[in-house]
Amino acid sequence: MNVRTRFAPSPTGYMHIGGVRTALYAWLYARKHSGSFILRIEDTDKEREVEGSIGHIMESLRWLGLQWDEGPDIGGFHEPYVQSARLPIYQAYAQKLIASGFAYTDPYTPDELEELRQKAEMEKRPFLFREHRPEQSEEWDGTKPLRFRTPFLKRYSWNDLVRGELSAGEEALDDFILIKSDGYPTYNFAHVVDDIEMQITHVTRGEEFISSTPKFLSLYDAFELPPPAFATLPPILSEEGKKKLSKRDGAKDILDYRAEGYLPEAFVNFLALLGWNPGTEQEYFTSEELIQAFDFDKVNKSGAHFNEEKLLSVNQYWLRQLSSGEFTVQGNFTSPDPERFSKTVPLLKERAHTFGEAREMLTGELACIFTQPVLTEEMLLLKEPGEAAGFTRTTLTNLLPFIKESDGKTIEEIKVAIMSVADENPKEKGGRGAVLWPLRYGLSGQERSPDPFSLIYILGSAGSELRIRAALDILGG
Ligand code: GLU
């Protein structure tokens, strides 16, 4: 079978986690089977449309590397891929249903319909339009809604690729609207027509569509066509419990994650595991590995908990896989001193979970690397064991030869050399702290900073010496 999956968002705003995960699973399945992944925009509800959404959706998918094979921008054999541009196609399918007796003109005015609804409500029974189906109906001229004449009142059963056997009885079937009085098709009708026309073989979507599935199946029956396979994805839940994901928990714009400095490969890795279980202990997957490992039978039936800690740690893992050059380019870092920056990258990779955090560190804890520190005598002498700065002055002076010889050494080698001096300092003279503190503070000018060995390595012998000499100047040495 030639696998064809689709992602069919409505342009009603930005993309959030649930949407991209649906797209990802459809994409993975298509790639795994060397099939096609189709992007289709479902914009039949013009009132809910938000300007700019389509561009935003495409940008989000592109960021994550979920490239589509057919879609609004690139076209394809079944174009157009935007529903509002496909109205004649829905009209043609509607005419087929009229011709086969499966569609009729809705005879009621909105007020009359409301009255029927209220009556049902007062009598405490569900409102079913099919119970008010007219004996005869006028010819459809497009000014009134066109309704489906639900053909088979029966229990529908179908095999969901994730949930297994599902079924629903007659209560799920009704004479729903196919085409509204404004000429636009309903979602129920349009997406079935499109899935037929675009030869979709696998439909991935959320559980909110399970209850309507009998309606879709009865439409396929009316067209005498087999339905596609359905894969229902588990809902994404907030960290604490059962409630749906709230904005605070991460139901936010996907592109905000990009702005905060998450890597697309990390995000894809995280999203894949949000509702899918590889069945092994493996935690980190490249997209290629996901394509190999993914299948619907390992998608969980129950809700998946969004866990921000997990997202951060997956992102840190992928950040650490980047070379210094890749880190700099992908994080959009610019530095007047590229060499120094590239030596700083390991520190950033060690500490930061995102590029955003790395950026904060560069203006915080690591700012001293790129700007000459302003030292105070009081801080320099914080661990001075004697009086009048004599000890500290001598210590720093004694360390200078080690600093001068540091070029070309690794951080570890620099550490061994400096520690050989620090470890010799007796306890009554403040031990190693009395040596390491003025060195680190002299180099960084900060109470909290990377260790002095890393600083010497990054600043280089000349840069480090300059700073230590500035410290000696303050001490009058
Ligand atoms: N346009 C629908 C939505 O955004 C798509 C549902 C489906 O995949 O069929 O919810």
- Find where tokens 């960084």 sit: 444
In sign, the C-alpha dihedral spanning 447, 451, 453, 458 is negative
Nearest CA-CA partner of 340 in 460, 461, 464 = 460
Ligand 1 atom index nearest CA of 7: 8
Residue 247: active-site member: yes
Ligand 1 close to Cβ of residue 249 (< 6 A):
no
Mutate to test the pocket of ligand 1, among 5, 187, 198 (most ligand atoms within 8 A of CB): 187
Report d(CA 129, CA 131) in Å as an integer.
5
Structure tokens, 290: 């996901």
**Range(s) of the domain holding residue 427:** 377-474
CA gap 350, 345 in Å, rounded: 8
Q: What is the mean pLDDT of the chain?
A: 94
Same domain, 365 and 434: no
Worst-scoring range by mean pLDDT, 10-14, 44-48, 250-254, 448-452?
250-254
| 159 in a structural domain | no
CA dist 278 → 59, 195, 297 (Å): 28, 29, 10
Average pLDDT over residues 113-141: 93
| Distance separating alpha carbons of residues 237 and 235, to the nearest angstrom | 6
Q: How far apart are CA 50 and CA 413, in angstroms?
A: 59
Mean pLDDT of 93-121: 96
- Quote the ligand 1 centre to 472 CA distance (angstroms): 69
| Residue closest by Cα to atom 2 of ligand 1 | 9
In three-state secondary structure terms, 307 is: coil
- Which residue of the set 247, 298, 415, 429 is catalytic? 247
Q: Which residue has the tokens 């409500």?
A: 121
195 lines ligand 1 (CB under 6 A): no
- Please identify, among 336, 369, 402, the residue that sits at the C-terminal boundary of a domain: 369
Asked whether residue 292 is domain-assigned, the answer is: yes
Q: Is residue 329 part of a domain?
A: yes
What are the C-alpha distances in Å from 360 to residues 11, 356, 364, 365, 367? 34, 6, 6, 8, 9
42 lines ligand 1 (CB under 6 A): yes
Other CB atoms closer than 10 Å to residue 6's CB: what's the count? Answer: 28
Q: What's the pTM?
A: 0.91
The verdict on 312 and 331 lying in the same domain is no
Confidence bin at 239 (pLDDT 50/70/90): confident
Token output for 126 = 């569900």
CATH number at residue 450: 1.10.10.350
Cα 126 to the chain's mean position, in Å? 40
270 and 317 share one domain: yes
Q: Residues 441, 452: one domain? A: yes
Q: pLDDT per residue over 354-390, tens digit each? A: 999 999 999 999 999 999 999 999 999 988 887 777 8
Is there a domain that residue 427 lies in? yes
pLDDT in tens, 38-95: 999 999 988 899 999 999 999 999 999 999 999 999 999 999 999 999 999 999 999 9
Residue-level pLDDT at 272: 98
Beta-strand runs (E) in 370-474: none
Q: Within this chain, do residues 242 and 306 fall inside the same structural domain, yes or no?
A: yes
User: CA-to-CA distance for 53 and 252, rounded, in angstroms?
Assistant: 14
Reported as a pLDDT band with limits 50, 70 and 90, residue 260 is very high
